C-alpha cells in the first residue's frame, strides 16, 4: 500500500474507475452500510480506548472483515479511507458513500464552522461513487450555522444536478461548557429533520441519516424522505443497542443502518459476529 501510494498514485483512480458497481437498492430495498469517517474528524476513541482507531492497518483489516460479510451493502468514508479500500480491491459490488464535511472538528473552538473539507459532488462523480453524505449541525446561538446551512443547501443542489443520492445527518446542537452537544430529544430531532429536509432547490435525491432516539414513530412521521439509522458511538450493552435498532428498522420509511464503531470495534472484538447480527436485522436473515 505504501509503495503504491508513493510510486503509482494514479492507481487510486484506476482502481476506482475499474470497480464493479451495483444498483443503489436491490432485493428487499434495504441498505446495511459500514461507517468509517471517524478518523477524519479526530474521533479515534471507542468506549474507554482513546486511540482505538489510530492504527490504520488494524482499521482497514476490520473493515475488510466487515465488507466481506454477506449482506453488507457498502461503506461510508472520507477520501483517504475510500482510496485505501479501493487499492485493496474491496469496493466491487458495494455502495460507496463519500463523506463531504469534517471542517468543524470535535472539541475545536471553530466546531460549528463545519465547512466542506472532504469530497464534493464533482469528486464523488469523478470517482464513480454512489452516494454523498453531509453533516448538518444547527446551533441557533452560533452564527457559523448559517454558512453550514447554505453550504449544505448548495450540496443538495449539486447532487440534484448530478442525479446523485445525498444523505443529510442533521442535529440541533448547543455549546455546553465549551463543547458542542447534540440534543437527542425527540422534539429537537424532529426539528432538525424539518430544517434539513428543506435545504436545496429540490429534495428529489435527499435522504436522512438519523439517530435512534425515544419515540422514533414520531420522528419517522415527520418526513417522507428515505431514512437510514445512525449507529453512533456505542453506549449501553450490545443487546440494548441492537434491540433499539431492530425496533426502529420496522418503521415505515426506514431503509437500513449506517454503523461504524459499534460493529468495527465490538465489545467482544468479534467483528464478523457483530456485523452478521446487524445484517440479520436489516435484511431479515443471518448470513
- The pLDDT tens digits for 101-120 are 888 888 889 999 989 999 99
Q: Which domains does the chain have, with CATH numbers?
A: 2-283 (3.20.20.70)
Q: How many Å is the Cα radius of gyration of the chain?
A: 18
Task: State yes or no: pLDDT of 241 exceeds 90.
Answer: no
**pTM score:** 0.94
Set of cell numbers at residue 276? 452478521
Give the pLDDT of residue 234. Answer: 57
Task: State yes or no: pLDDT of 148 exceeds 80.
Answer: yes
Q: For residue 226, how many other CB atoms are within 10 A of its CB? A: 17
The model's confidence at residue 94, banded by pLDDT at 50, 70 and 90, is very high
Q: For residue 173, how many other CB atoms are within 10 A of its CB? A: 24
Host H or E run for residue 67 = helix 56-68
Adjacent-strand bridge partners of 134: 168
Rounded to the nearest 5 degrees, what angle is found at the Cα of 254, between the Cα atoms of 253 and 256?
145
The model's confidence at residue 232, banded by pLDDT at 50, 70 and 90, is low
Task: Kindly report which listed range (9-18, 46-55, 141-150, 196-205) carries the lowest average pLDDT score.
Answer: 46-55
First to last CA, the chain: 30
Give the pLDDT of residue 286. Answer: 42
Interatomic CA distance for residues 222 and 257, integer angstroms: 19
Interatomic CA distance for residues 36 and 260, integer angstroms: 6
Interatomic CA distance for residues 12 and 28, integer angstroms: 32
Rounded to the nearest 5 degrees, what angle is found at the Cα of 115, between the Cα atoms of 109 and 116?
140
Of 228, 158, 161, the closest CA to residue 193 belongs to 228
Host H or E run for residue 239 = helix 238-249
Residue with cell string 444547527 = 138
- The residue-averaged pLDDT of 251-263 equals 94
Task: State yes or no: pLDDT of 271 exceeds 70.
Answer: yes
Task: State yes or no: pLDDT of 231 exceeds 90.
Answer: no
Give the pLDDT of residue 52. Answer: 86
Higher pLDDT: 237 or 86? It is: 86
Task: Kindly report which listed range (135-139, 155-159, 240-244, 271-275) carries the lowest average pLDDT score.
Answer: 240-244
Host H or E run for residue 122 = helix 121-126
User: 31: helix, coil or strand?
Assistant: strand
Give the pLDDT of residue 44. Answer: 86
Amino acid at each position: 500500500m505504501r509503495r503504491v501510494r508513493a510510486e503509482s498514485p494514479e492507481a487510486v483512480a484506476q482502481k476506482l474507475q475499474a470497480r464493479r458497481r451495483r444498483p443503489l437498492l436491490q432485493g428487499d430495498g434495504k441498505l446495511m452500510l459500514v461507517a468509517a469517517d471517524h478518523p477524519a474528524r479526530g474521533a479515534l476513541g471507542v468506549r474507554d480506548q482513546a486511540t482505538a482507531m489510530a492504527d490504520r492497518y488494524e482499521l482497514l483489516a476490520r473493515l475488510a472483515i466487515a465488507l466481506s460479510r454477506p449482506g453488507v451493502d457498502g461503506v461510508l468514508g472520507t477520501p483517504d479511507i475510500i482510496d485505501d479500500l479501493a487499492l485493496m480491491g474491496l469496493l466491487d459490488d458495494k455502495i460507496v458513500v463519500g463523506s463531504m464535511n469534517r471542517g468543524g472538528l470535535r472539541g475545536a473552538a471553530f466546531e460549528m464552522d463545519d465547512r466542506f473539507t472532504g469530497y464534493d459532488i464533482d469528486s464523488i462523480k469523478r470517482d464513480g461513487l454512489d452516494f454523498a453524505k453531509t453533516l448538518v449541525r444547527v446551533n441557533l446561538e452560533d452564527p457559523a450555522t448559517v454558512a453550514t446551512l447554505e453550504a449544505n443547501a448548495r450540496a443538495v443542489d449539486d447532487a440534484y444536478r448530478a442525479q446523485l443520492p445525498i444523505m443529510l445527518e442533521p442535529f440541533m446542537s448547543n455549546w455546553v461548557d465549551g463543547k458542542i452537544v447534540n440534543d437527542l430529544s425527540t422534539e429537537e430531532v424532529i426539528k432538525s429533520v424539518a430544517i434539513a429536509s428543506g435545504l436545496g432547490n429540490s429534495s428529489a435525491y435527499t435522504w436522512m441519516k438519523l439517530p435512534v432516539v425515544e419515540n422514533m414513530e414520531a420522528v419517522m412521521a415527520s418526513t417522507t424522505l428515505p431514512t437510514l439509522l445512525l449507529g453512533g458511538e456505542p453506549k449501553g450493552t450490545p443487546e440494548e443497542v441492537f434491540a433499539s435498532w431492530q425496533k426502529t428498522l420496522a418503521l415505515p420509511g426506514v431503509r437500513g443502518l449506517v454503523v461504524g464503531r459499534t460493529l468495527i470495534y465490538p465489545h467482544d472484538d468479534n467483528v464478523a459476529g457483530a456485523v452478521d447480527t446487524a445484517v440479520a436485522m436489516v435484511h431479515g436473515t443471518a448470513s
